[in-house]
């Protein structure tokens, strides 16, 4: 993946940060994206540049169309276009709440940030990928999203991500002739500091909820994304991949 350009949304911290570091190690030039975490993004930029690749740190909210257009334009002007699009960013309301108790603004934010923004980003990067006859698009979902099961108290978020499942599969078929793959990663319940840990960091930790017996780490996600982005991973497309240690995250409460 030497000199491929990877844009990772929401990459100043957490899973996006770990993905950016992993792709930089693979030789990719990196476009970081953040909304508020400028200090973290700038520090990560310095770390990535020390690996001998180019790196940008770009502010932009993927729920705002003007920001999306500007973001892609800046990457094209300064790095030459997006070869790998990792759609990590997306709002999430951790508080469990009935759909009837959501505000209209919150409903729009969930759909815009988790579905529409991702679709618009993909739409803007496709011309460059088609011109190169090569591209990798990664979407983020949640465990068992491909089954479109009920997820009480997460209705708006789940609706957006399940819509993204169908979009992932549809886009994968449409773009396969152009050498572009489209897949979705569905992380397990990886929280807090674990998002920026390696697998070695969490080996030995106990997690009684996860069948594997240990918590997930950011590396668990980043290494799968890196594999999907490799040159010879072109036969893997349209897949919804759980990376969860066997955990079912949909635990309804009554």
Q: Report pLDDT digits (tens) over 189-238.
A: 898 999 999 999 999 898 888 888 898 899 999 999 999 999 999 999 99
Q: What is the pLDDT of residue 178?
A: 98
Q: What is the mean pLDDT of the chain?
A: 94
194 close to 217: Cβ distance less than 8 angstroms: yes
Where residue 111 sits, what CATH number does that domain have? 3.40.50.720
CA distance from start to end of the chain: 48
d(CA 217, CA 168) in angstroms, rounded, equals: 24
pTM, entire model: 0.94
CA–CA distances in Å: residue 154 to residues 104, 160, 241, 248: 15, 10, 20, 15
Q: 67: domain range?
A: 5-243
Asked whether residue 177 is domain-assigned, the answer is yes
Asked whether residue 167 is domain-assigned, the answer is yes
87-97 pLDDT, tens digit per residue, is 999 999 989 99
Closest CA to 166 of 179, 187, 181, 147: 147
Report the number of distinct structural domains present in the chain: 1
- pLDDT above 50 for 253: no
């Amino acid at each position: 993946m030497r000199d491929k350009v990877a844009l990772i949304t929401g990459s100043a911290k957490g899973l996006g940060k770990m993905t950016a570091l992993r792709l930089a190690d693979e030789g990719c030039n990196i476009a970081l994206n953040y909304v508020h975490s400028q200090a973290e993004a700038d520090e990560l930029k310095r770390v990535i540049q020390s690996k001998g690749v180019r790196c940008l740190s770009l502010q932009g909210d993927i729920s705002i169309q003007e920001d999306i257009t500007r973001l892609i334009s800046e990457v094209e002007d300064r790095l030459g276009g997006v070869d790998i699009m990792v759609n990590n960013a997306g709002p999430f309301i951790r508080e469990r709440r009935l759909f009837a108790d959501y505000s209209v603004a919150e409903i729009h934010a969930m759909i815009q940030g988790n579905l529409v923004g991702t679709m618009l980003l993909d739409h803007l990067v496709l011309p460059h990928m088609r011109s190169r006859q090569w591209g990798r698009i990664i979407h983020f979902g949640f465990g068992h999203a491909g089954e479109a099961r009920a997820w009480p108290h997460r209705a708006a978020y789940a609706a957006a991500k399940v819509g993204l499942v169908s979009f992932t599969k549809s886009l994968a078929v449409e773009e396969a002739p152009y050498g572009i793959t489209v897949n979705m990663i569905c992380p397990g319940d990886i929280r807090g500091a674990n998002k920026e840990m390696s697998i070695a960091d969490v080996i030995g930790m106990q997690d009684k909820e996860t069948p594997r017996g240990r918590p997930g780490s950011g590396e668990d996600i980043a290494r799968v994304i890196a594999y999907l982005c490799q040159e010879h991973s072109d036969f893997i497309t349209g897949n919804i991949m759980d990376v969860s240690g066997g955990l079912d995250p949909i635990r309804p409460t009554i």
